[in-house]
A and B are shown apart, each in its own frame.
Chain A
Amino acid sequence: MFKDVTLGQYYQADSVIHRLDPRVKLAGTFLYMISLFVFNNIICYLVSAILLAVVIILCRVPVGYMLKGLRAVLFIMIFAVVFNVLFTEGDIIWEFWIFHVSAKGIKMAILMVIRLFLLIVSASIMTLTTTPNRLTDGLEMIFRPLKIFKVPVHEFAMMMSIALRFIPILSEEADKIVKAQTARGAKFDSKKLTDRVKSLIPLIVPLFISAFRRASDLALAMEARGYHGGDGRTKLYPLKYAARDYISYAVLLLYIGAIVSLGITFSRLTAFLLQFFAGSHLGTVLFWLF
């Protein structure tokens, strides 16, 4: 019941992307996501999609497995489409009550779906190819400068890695408790909402208790092994950049450059061309493309 969620999980495989430094992947994913929001034309998305496709091929995670995670966000996508189609101002094609469907709205909806799709796939590639430990290591390194402002960076990173580590443990625990209570006749699939909420009590109470028990055990174990926070603590596997990491940074810069120049060129070009061809067939084609 809790094992179907692939979003945010790690997928073990041996690939270049898996071996990349987590800082590269974090920075890359972050810049990639921003790049999706800067421009609004299809050429830019095409470039983004090509880059993503190359990464997907390189990372050796089965595409089917990756897309399974998308099901969780399908609802958000549908929501975005409906709102964009119905509530975007523009030349109205079809009208009903308070809803106005415009060509611009349809275009925005299509772009929004592409954008969300690329966004989620790129984020899930990062988590699929990076172990939670390396991810938090990377985050800790990136945010280390904030220590000057007395931000407890190491403590936050430790909290995050413990939280991530506990997700599979707690989901397994939840699975066990669901089974145990099912065997005692509990029904978790009741149709009535109130029954359903009530049926969660026998699950949630034991789950909380076990979470607290585990947390206090872990705290004791950490203290027993001399953990006292981040000061003076060294890493077993310190992060070090390799050639592939520098190459990835170069590719990333190249990509950003390409997106920015393409975006500026095409938005100027279409604005310029649309002045002349507005209303004609060519104008329509330009409208949908750029």
Chain B
Amino acid sequence: MPITADHLTYVYGGNKNLKTTAVDDISVSIDDGQFIGLIGHTGSGKTTFLQLLSGLIKPESGTVLIDGEDIFAKNFDLHSIRSKVGIVFQYPEHQLFEETVFTDVCFGPKNLGLPKEEIESRAIEALRLVGLDEGIYSQSPFELSGGQKRRVAIAGVISMKPKFLILDEPTAGLDPAGRKEILGLVSKLCREQNMTIILVSHSMDDVAEYADRILVINDGKLAIDAPPREVFNHKDELESYGLSLPQVTKAMFRLKESGIPVNTDAITVNEALSDILKVLK
């Protein structure tokens, strides 16, 4: 069953002078197993939208249905969706607190009230998935490198085995190698664990390669909802939202402008390569 947002609206600020509508009447339905890229520039309402989807804040109006249940209904127990919807916040390594990596990853499953063996096997599984080896299980999470910390934090969410995994700019502040690792991990989770992924970013390059579907949010409104290739055809519209195309697609547009008849819908380097080779033959 999917996640459905129904006319979601959220307004910030009690002070009359400072009221801003962060999420403005968004309706969208996300199917199981989809990999969604959620894009918008800084301050467009992405993070607020995520928090609404995971029931962490209450909307001004509208609602969210998860597996057909209204999570903002009066008698709905919000605690029960914690095992369903996992959310990895920006800079998730800032939420680490336990003495060892292993106990920190156990925190989530422990809160679900699972038996001890289940908690531990889930933690081990999650740590394996994010590619951390046993040598660091008993280390303090604060002694690790930035990329490792982030993977521990992500493992802490995965260990709850959510059906839906929301990630808010998981690659922020990482070097290119670290970025590739995290994105590869996320797409692996989608394919192998059949998780529904919502990946938030302000960079098209991050999501172009992996997402099945891209949602563009601008000024709190859902501006574009389409598969990646279609989204990148709206070049001018995207630029008016302060977003740019993936580097490769941009390069292909430039080639076409300068008279080389390439397709402009390439979104990965390999696609672009074979496309250019075709033209050159």
State the A residues within 8 Å of B (CB). Answer: 3, 11-13, 62, 65, 173, 176-177, 179-187, 201-202, 205-206, 209-210
Contacts of B160 in A (CB 8 A): 184-185
Interface size on B, residues (CB 8 A): 29
Contact of B157 among A3, A11, A183 (CB under 8 A): A183
Inter-subunit contact A185/B112 (CB<8 Å)? yes
Q: List 16 A-B contacts (CB under 8 A).
A: A12-B17, A13-B17, A173-B94, A176-B89, A179-B51, A179-B56, A180-B92, A180-B94, A183-B56, A184-B82, A184-B108, A185-B107, A185-B110, A186-B111, A202-B97, A205-B97
Cβ of B156: which chain A residues have Cβ within 8 Å of it? 184
Q: Which of B14, B86, B97 has the most CB of A within 10 A?
A: B97
Name A183's contact: one of B17, B87, B112 (CB within 8 Å): B87
Cross-chain contact A187 with B111 (CB below 8 angstroms): yes
Q: Which of B63-105 contact A (CB under 8 A)?
A: 79, 82-83, 85-87, 89, 92, 94-97
- Nearest CB on B from A195, distance (A): 12
Provide the residues of chain A in CB contact with B92, threshold 8 Å. Answer: 180
**How far is the CB of A176 from the nearest CB of chain B, in Å?**
7
Q: In the bound complex, what is the Cα–Cα distance between A173 and B90 (angstroms)?
A: 12
Do A177 and B95 touch (CB < 8 A)?
yes
Q: Which residue of B lies closest to A4 (CB)?
A: B14
B54 in contact with A184 (CB, 8 Å): no
B142 within 8 A of A: yes
Chain B residues packing against A (C-beta within 8 Å): 14-17, 51, 54, 56-57, 79, 82-83, 85-87, 89, 92, 94-97, 107-108, 110-112, 142, 156-157, 160
Q: Is the CB of B95 within 8 A of A181?
A: yes
Nearest residue (CB) in A for B85 is A183
Residues of chain B contacted by A205 (CB below 8 angstroms): 97
B157 contacts A184, C-beta separation under 8 Å: yes
What residues on B are CB-neighbors of A173 within 8 Å?
94
Whether B54 and A183, one on each chain, are in contact in the complex, defined by CB atoms closer than 8 angstroms, is yes
Contact B108 A185 (CB under 8 A): yes
A184-B108, A210-B94 as given contacts; A179 in contact with B17, CB under 8 Å:
no
CA distance A185 to B161 in the complex (A): 12
Question: Contact at B89–A179, with CB atoms within 8 Å?
Answer: yes
Of the residues B14, B17, B94, B111, contact of A184 by C-beta under 8 Å:
B111
Give the CA-CA distance A62 to B157 in the complex, in Å: 43
Whether the pair A65, B83 counts as a contact (CB closer than 8 A) is no
Q: In the complex, are the beta carbons of B95 and A187 less than 8 A apart?
A: no
How distant is the Cα of A134 from the Cα of B171 in the complex, in angstroms?
39
Bound CA span A173–B15, Å: 20
How long is the Cα–Cα vector from A269 to B87 in the complex, in angstroms?
71
- Provide the bound-state CA to CA distance between A13 and B17, in Å: 9
How distant is the Cα of A176 from the Cα of B87 in the complex, in angstroms?
A: 12
Q: A65-B15, A173-B94, A177-B95 known; 9 other A-B pairs, CB under 8 Å?
A: A11-B15, A180-B89, A183-B87, A184-B107, A184-B157, A185-B107, A201-B97, A205-B97, A210-B94
Which 7 pairs between the two chains have the least Cβ-Cβ distance? A185-B111, A205-B97, A184-B108, A180-B95, A185-B82, A183-B87, A179-B56
Bound complex: CA A12 to CA B82 (Å): 38
Cα A182 to Cα B55 with chains together (Å): 10
A284-B89 Cα distance, complex, nearest whole Å:
66
B97 in contact with A62 (CB, 8 Å):
no
Q: Which residues of B contact A186 (CB under 8 A)?
A: 107, 111
Flag if A202 contacts B89 (CB, 8 Å): no
List residues of chain B with CB within 8 A of the CB of A183: 54, 56, 82, 85-87, 89, 157
- Shortest distance in angstroms between A93's beta carbon and chain B's nearest beta carbon? 44
Residues of B within 8 A of A12 (CB): 15, 17
Does B97 lie within 8 Å of A185, measured CB to CB? no
Q: How far is the CA of A206 from the CA of B17 in the complex (A)?
A: 33
Once bound together, how far apart are the Cα atoms of A65 and B16, in whole Å?
Answer: 10
On whether A185 and B94 interact (CB within 8 A), knowing A12-B17, A179-B51, A179-B56, the answer reads no
- Alpha-carbon separation in the docked complex, A184 to B107 (Å): 7
| A183 closest partner in B (C-beta) | B87
In the bound complex, how far is the Cα of B50 from the Cα of A248, in angstroms?
A: 50
